Chains A and B, each alone.
Chain A
Amino acid sequence: MHSITLRKTCLYCCSFLLLGSVFFLPKIALSDEILIVKTPAVESPSMPKVMFNHDKHVNFVESHDGDCSRCHAMTSAGLSTTVLNVKLQKKSNQIPYLHMECTRCHAQAGAGPSLAECRTCHVVGARLEAKK
């Protein structure tokens, strides 16, 4: 009898923890949402992929005009999921296009890295922690 009660208690605890984690985990992930930029796809990259802190940018936009079209172009299917019109660019021009659009906005905003600060965006390993 005693053993059954103990087992039940354990089961309740585990269920509670499981449910709790399902409920809380997405929130934890979203609080520091780092997106890996995959457009354009680069076959043999010279640099690490860009780790993009989306929430930082959302906070900036919300504190100004709330205009998501600063970064996302309006298409027939709604707002683009990629940066502005990067997909409409020739493949050879997609990286220069992203460099230009990102750093131009940073210069206007007086925040964020300039084109000379390569590794602020192209980050790996330990630097990613610092970036958060």
Chain B
Amino acid sequence: MMQLLTGPLFVASLLIFVIGLVVRAVLYIKGLDAKLERVAYSYHRERSVPGAAMSIIKWLIPAGTAGWRTQPVAMVLFFLLHFGAVLLPLFLLGHTVILEQCTGISLPALPNNVADILTIASLSALALLALRRILSPVLRQLNSFQDWLILALTFAPFFTGFMAMHSASSYDLWIQLHVISGELFLVLAPFTKLSHIVLFFMSRAQLGIDFAIKRGGDTRGGVFPW
């Protein structure tokens, strides 16, 4: 079972994840309006490149933008979730060992106790973000089935990984569930809102370029003060 899960099924889900997200990025660019966007963006490189870069960077910094500062609780939960979601898949010791054996690329590994703290922070943030969705009337209106699905898809690999690490008697079960839930996440990411893994960068770049070139961009020296 594990040989199948960690062999062909893992490779297949990784391929679907990478190719799927690349396709989503290409479709995003192809979907831009030829006259309004594509033509306008191809001029004024001196404004579009820093505009795109600053839009991405500022939104990746906690409280880096007015948008983050107006909702501090959601911001804290968001960053707690995403620190773990970005760092753990790449730098958890077990993951770096597998990466090194498969590709020869050796990444530094997080100490196990730091990984534990990141996992607990991410799981807590997910639970509180779910609570926020239930309590906020606006979010209750906006929430769809898919929104709950991707929350569960994100919760599962953290939870099963943590249980595998710390459960004394059911390691085999938890590690299998961990691999299955991780692969489900990879497979479904390109087809759900989890595609924001790549589309966040696309749309932030586009907005950064847009506000740097059009909408009074030249009067601000190129970069919108997010």
Contact = CB atoms under 8 A, between A and B. Distances in A.
Nearest to B93: A46
Interface stretch (B51-59, B124-132, B146-154, B165-173): B165-173
A53 B6 CA distance: 23
A29 B2 CA distance: 31
A119 B97 contact: no
Given A46-B93, A46-B112, A114 B169 contact: no
B175 A116 contact: yes
A68 B6 CA distance: 28
Contact of A116 (B112, B169, B179): B179
Contacts of B169: 126-127, 130
B171 A114 contact: no
Chain A interface mostly: helix
B6 A115 contact: yes
Contacts of B2: 113-114, 116-117
Contacts of B93: 46-47
Contacts, number: 53
Contacts of A47: 93, 112
Interface in B66-121: 93-94, 97-98, 100-101, 109, 111-112
Contact of A126 (B5, B6, B97, B168): B168
Chain B interface mostly: helix
A94 interface: no
A119 B172 CA distance: 9
Interface residues of B, number: 22
A115 B168 CA distance: 19
Interface in A71-107: 96, 99-100, 103, 106-107
B164 interface: yes
A119 B164 contact: yes
Interface in B1-28: 2-3, 5-7
A127 B171 CA distance: 8
B6 A127 contact: no
Given A46-B112, A47-B93, A115-B98, A120 B6 contact: no
B19 to A, nearest CB: 23
Contacts of A103: 101
Contact of B165 (A113, A119, A120): A119
19 contacts: A46-B109, A99-B97, A106-B3, A107-B3, A107-B7, A113-B2, A116-B2, A116-B98, A116-B175, A116-B179, A117-B2, A117-B172, A118-B94, A119-B164, A119-B171, A120-B171, A120-B172, A126-B169, A127-B171
Pick the 4 closest A-B CB pairs, nearest first. Answer: A126-B168, A116-B6, A114-B6, A118-B94
Given A114-B3, A116-B94, 8 more contacts: A46-B111, A96-B101, A115-B97, A115-B98, A116-B5, A117-B172, A118-B94, A119-B164
